[in-house]
Chains A and B, each alone.
Chain A
Amino acid sequence: MGALFGNRRSAQEPLSPVTKKPKPTSKIAAIPLLSEVLTRPVIFVSGKGGVGKSVVTQAIALALSRKGRRTLWVELEDPLKPRGQLSKIAPKLWRLNCDAEMSFEEYALLKIGDSPLARMFIDNKLMRYLAKAAPGIHELVLLGKIWHESSRYESVVVDMPSTGHGLALFQSTKNYATLFRGGPIHEDAEEMILTFADSGKTGHVIVALPEEMPLRESLDLDQFLMEIFPKNRATFVVNRTFPKTGVPANIPADPTNWPSPLAENPLDYLNRRVLLEEHNLRIWRDQELSFAEFGYVSPAEAHTSAAIAEVLSEQLVTGGHL
């Protein structure tokens, strides 16, 4: 057993001398345009917490459904909505609050057939415990549900949990595909990873804000995703950028040269914000990373997430992304 489950990564590495990691631009799959990614049947929207992933997901789903595509917008275990609820929210647009426990049941019934024996299996206390506690099962069944649903819709757009937990969904599934042998769960995990790694079938969107931490973390996320899906590079979106304006010359362009981190008044804040965004976006530009942009929707213009998604979905069209 030990040898079989040894460190796979080191076993897979070529036996060549240690070389530096290649720069993201060479050899690695090129970054696709958002417009191209949006044509793929499954779209995962990932990013750090608080960057507006949910509203971007909703905007993409809305825009796709308006283009006439039968679209499913997936949220993963939103605690404020009923578990597993599927609702039609607009013409051609459905929303699912995916739930792991319900997906596990559904999966088991699908595999062993709906019979008294199957019911007994599902109701078995130990099985319920395992579905919750066995490492990675939770993540596996959530992705499995998305994979399963994708055959019923033309587009499935998934609001992923924030960075670490989002990656765990993919990593667990990959682990099941590589660490175990035999059995339908292993086979399905393998099939799922193939689907999500295929740039013809699945798109990955990374969302960030024009702030330093989200931009930097998005690069880490990109690296991790590339390790799991080497041939299916994500596309990048920066959300909530302020309108670009000219800035008085007396403010240094590099924010680290400002005497204080505080702004003096609204206009001063806006001037500094423009410089700060430019300064921060260099983190992406230095990597020769192309990206799409969503302008900040003023809360005065739209203050519910549905209303913001509405404005952003228009931005998708006017920006030529759809």
Chain B
Amino acid sequence: MNANVDADMKANSIDEILKRRRIIITCGTGGVGKTTVSAALAMRAAQLGKRAAVITIDPARRLATSLGLTELSETPVDLTRNLREAMPSHKIDGTFSALMPNAKANFDDFVKELSASKTIAEQIARNPLFQIFTKEFSGTNEYMALERLQALDLTGQFDCIILDTPPSRNALAFLNAPKLVAELFEERLIRWLVLPANRLLSAGMRKALGILEKLTGAGFMTNLLDFASTLFSVRVQFLANFEKTTRLLQSEAVGFIMVTTPTPEAAPDVHHFVRTLQEHRFHFEGLTINRTIGYLFKSTSKPNQATSPGLPVLEGIRKREEQAMRALSSGNIRICAMLPELARDIHSVEDLLYVANAFETHHAQ
């Protein structure tokens, strides 16, 4: 997008990316293995000597499960020992931690933190719209993930943070979320709702509000005005925060990696995603293609004459993978890693190591 176009055009290995950026944000649609890739990235960073942390916002505790833990907490859990035990022959200079902030409580907490006033906290507690908003507004989880990332970064505890973005249908949801939340705070509009003098300025506006009240009932309007005035009272702090977050994401400290599976249908999404990243002036580091089966067919183990009814399916998947590789690498999309489909689900640091090591193998190819 700007001065570092030349540097950006060059394909980078994961190791180079980890050395270059302090924060890596992984994006992708649900089911591509984003959480696994994120954890493996942090592990790789620890192998490279970084103090690394993976942060995930995920109600389903995927990260905990794949690390072989029952749960993770709001504060970083140090797993360096588990990593050392898993690879006793290696000297690991860095550290490896994981954390999972509670997404549900967060938006309330965040508004409370912004306001630092008791009245606001009480307003939030009694207004049902805040309950709905915190749980269901698409964008809140994504926005709060960024807030947590920033807070963790500021502690200076880590020199490599991997953010596993919340699950969503499309990778763009994450990029658009902060803007969506920011629109809520758009001053002019909230002002209409909050300041009675302004509301009286326009007869049209008064009529519109009248209709809305008729549609929704009086209870809703009271709560909506209360909701808006709460947001209004913290808007200055919010917008300042929002700007800070955007600046961080655009900075040289942050790189984005998109995770995808090897299917040709993923290509339009990937291209769209990379374009949007560039529009936001964020740094795209490359595409990680997860769950590839090509390696099975390259194996050097003795050829087996036996056959199986599943073989035509697997052959079909292999051909699709080859098509996908062509479709995905068209244009100027860089592939920074290809990871193997594993034969079982990941339940331990040992299994994750197979993924982390694949980063190295890919680069060697």
Chain A interfacial positions (CB closer than 8 Å to B): 1-2, 4-5, 48-51, 79-80, 108, 111-112, 117-118, 120-121, 124-127, 129-130, 132-136, 138-139, 161-165, 168, 171-172, 175, 179-186, 209, 211-214, 216-217, 220, 242-243, 245, 255-256, 258, 260-274, 276, 280, 296, 298-301, 303, 305
Stretch of B42-50, B59-67, B71-79 with 4 or more beta carbons under 8 angstroms from chain A: B59-67
Q: Which residues of B contact A186 (CB under 8 A)?
A: 216-217, 220
Question: Which residue of A5, A163, A209 is within 8 Å of B127 (Cβ)?
Answer: A5
Q: Known pairs A121-B211, A261-B354. 4 more at Cβ < 8 A? A: A108-B211, A175-B132, A181-B219, A272-B344
Q: Which residues of A contact B196 (CB under 8 A)?
A: none
Q: Which residues of B contact A127 (CB under 8 A)?
A: 208, 212
Asked if residues B310 and A273 are in contact (CB atoms below 8 Å), the reply is yes
Query: Chain A's nearest CB lies how many Å from the CB of B187?
Result: 12
Q: Which residues of B contact A217 (CB under 8 A)?
A: 60
Q: Which residues of A contact B310 (CB under 8 A)?
A: 242-243, 245, 270, 273-274
Q: Which residues of B contact A272 (CB under 8 A)?
A: 343-344
Q: Which residues of B contact A296 (CB under 8 A)?
A: 313
User: Given contacts A186-B217, A272-B343, are A51 and B268 in contact (CB under 8 A)?
Assistant: no
Number of A-B contacts (CB under 8 A): 236
User: Given contacts A126-B189, A175-B128, A255-B344, are A185 and B319 in contact (CB under 8 A)?
Assistant: no
Convert B292-309 into 0s and 1s, putting 1 for each residue whose CB lies closer than 8 angstroms to a CB of A.
010111010100101111
B136-188 at interface with A (beta carbon < 8 Å): 136-138, 141, 166-170, 172, 183-184, 186
Query: Which residue of chain A lies nearest to B263 when distances are taken between CB atoms in the complex?
Result: A299
Q: Which residues of A contact B127 (CB under 8 A)?
A: 5
Query: Chain B's nearest CB lies how many Å from the CB of A15?
Result: 24
Asked if residues B29 and A50 are in contact (CB atoms below 8 Å), the reply is yes
Asked if residues B351 and A49 are in contact (CB atoms below 8 Å), the reply is no
Chain A interface main SS type = helix
Interface size on B, residues (CB 8 A): 87
Q: Which residues of A contact B265 (CB under 8 A)?
A: 305
> Which 4 A-B pairs have CB atoms at the shortest separation, nearest pair first?
A49-B30, A50-B31, A183-B217, A300-B316
Asked if residues A1 and B126 are in contact (CB atoms below 8 Å), the reply is yes
Query: Which residue of chain B lies nearest to A298 when distances are taken between CB atoms in the complex?
Result: B316
Asked if residues B62 and A213 are in contact (CB atoms below 8 Å), the reply is yes
Asked if residues A168 and B138 are in contact (CB atoms below 8 Å), the reply is yes
Query: Chain A's nearest CB lies how many Å from the CB of B154?
Result: 28
Query: Which residue of chain A lies nearest to B193 when distances are taken between CB atoms in the complex?
Result: A126
Q: Which residues of A contact B354 (CB under 8 A)?
A: 260-262
For residue B92, CB closer than 8 A to chain A, the reply is no
Query: Chain A's nearest CB lies how many Å from the CB of B216?
Result: 5
Query: Chain A's nearest CB lies how many Å from the CB of B289?
Result: 15
Query: Which residue of chain B lies nearest to A209 when distances are taken between CB atoms in the complex?
Result: B31
Q: Report how far A164 CA is from B58 CA in the complex, Å.
A: 10
Q: List 18 A-B contacts (CB under 8 A).
A: A1-B222, A108-B215, A120-B207, A126-B209, A127-B212, A136-B137, A181-B217, A183-B216, A183-B217, A261-B342, A263-B343, A264-B296, A264-B301, A265-B301, A269-B343, A273-B310, A298-B317, A301-B312
Chain B interfacial positions (CB closer than 8 Å to A): 29-32, 59-60, 62, 65, 126-133, 135-138, 141, 166-170, 172, 183-184, 186, 189, 192-193, 204-205, 207-209, 211-220, 222-224, 227, 261, 264-265, 268, 293, 295-297, 299, 301, 304, 306-317, 319-320, 340-347, 351, 354
Q: Report how far A2 CA is from B215 CA in the complex, Å.
A: 22
Query: Which residue of chain A lies nearest to B355 when distances are taken between CB atoms in the complex?
Result: A261
Asked if residues B342 and A133 are in contact (CB atoms below 8 Å), the reply is no
Asked if residues A182 and B193 are in contact (CB atoms below 8 Å), the reply is no
Q: Which residues of A contact B311 (CB under 8 A)?
A: 266-267, 270
Q: Report how far A180 CA is from B317 CA in the complex, Å.
A: 51
Q: Report how far A130 CA is from B186 CA in the complex, Å.
A: 12
Query: Which residue of chain B lies nearest to A54 when distances are taken between CB atoms in the complex?
Result: B169
Q: Report how far A298 CA is from B314 CA in the complex, Å.
A: 7
User: Given contacts A1-B222, A48-B31, are A179 and B128 in contact (CB under 8 A)?
Assistant: yes
Q: Report how far A145 CA is from B184 CA in the complex, Å.
A: 24
Q: Which residues of A contact B135 (CB under 8 A)?
A: 168, 171
Question: Which residue of B138, B219, B343 is within 8 Å of A261 (Cβ)?
Answer: B343
Q: Which residues of B contact A269 (CB under 8 A)?
A: 293, 296, 314, 341, 343
Asked if residues A133 and B184 are in contact (CB atoms below 8 Å), the reply is yes
Query: Chain B's nearest CB lies how many Å from the CB of A102?
Result: 17
Asked if residues B314 and A48 are in contact (CB atoms below 8 Å), the reply is no
Query: Which residue of chain A lies nearest to B129 when distances are taken between CB atoms in the complex?
Result: A135
Asked if residues B301 and A299 are in contact (CB atoms below 8 Å), the reply is no
User: Given contacts A126-B192, A180-B217, A217-B60, are A266 and B211 in contact (CB under 8 A)?
Assistant: no
Query: Chain A's nearest CB lies how many Å from the CB of B233?
Result: 16
Q: Report how far A79 CA is from B313 CA in the complex, Å.
A: 31
Q: Report how far A181 CA is from B219 CA in the complex, Å.
A: 7
Question: Which residue of B138, B205, B293, B342 is within 8 Å of A124 (Cβ)?
Answer: B205
Query: Chain B's nearest CB lies how many Å from the CB of A303?
Result: 6
Query: Which residue of chain B lies nearest to A243 when distances are taken between CB atoms in the complex?
Result: B309
Query: Chain B's nearest CB lies how many Å from the CB of A221?
Result: 10
Asked if residues A270 and B342 are in contact (CB atoms below 8 Å), the reply is no
Q: Which residues of A contact B217 (CB under 8 A)?
A: 180-183, 185-186
Query: Chain B's nearest CB lies how many Å from the CB of A85?
Result: 18
Query: Chain B's nearest CB lies how many Å from the CB of A261?
Result: 4
Asked if residues B136 and A172 are in contact (CB atoms below 8 Å), the reply is yes
Q: Which residues of B contact A108 (CB under 8 A)?
A: 211, 215
Q: Which residues of B contact A161 (CB under 8 A)?
A: 169
Asked if residues B343 and A242 are in contact (CB atoms below 8 Å), the reply is no
User: Given contacts A168-B136, A280-B345, are A49 and B220 in contact (CB under 8 A)?
Assistant: no
Asked if residues A172 and B132 are in contact (CB atoms below 8 Å), the reply is yes
Q: Report how far A256 CA is from B348 CA in the complex, Å.
A: 10
Q: Report how far A287 CA is from B268 CA in the complex, Å.
A: 40
Query: Which residue of chain A lies nearest to B226 when distances are taken between CB atoms in the complex?
Result: A1
Q: Which residues of B contact A214 (CB under 8 A)?
A: 31
Q: Report how far A298 CA is from B313 CA in the complex, Å.
A: 4
Query: Chain B's nearest CB lies how many Å from the CB of A185?
Result: 5
Query: Chain B's nearest CB lies how many Å from the CB of A276?
Result: 6
Asked if residues A213 and B30 are in contact (CB atoms below 8 Å), the reply is no
Q: Which residues of B contact A5 (CB under 8 A)?
A: 126-128, 223
Asked if residues B204 and A264 are in contact (CB atoms below 8 Å), the reply is no
Query: Which residue of chain B lies nearest to A246 when distances are taken between CB atoms in the complex?
Result: B308
Q: Report how far A214 CA is from B30 CA in the complex, Å.
A: 10
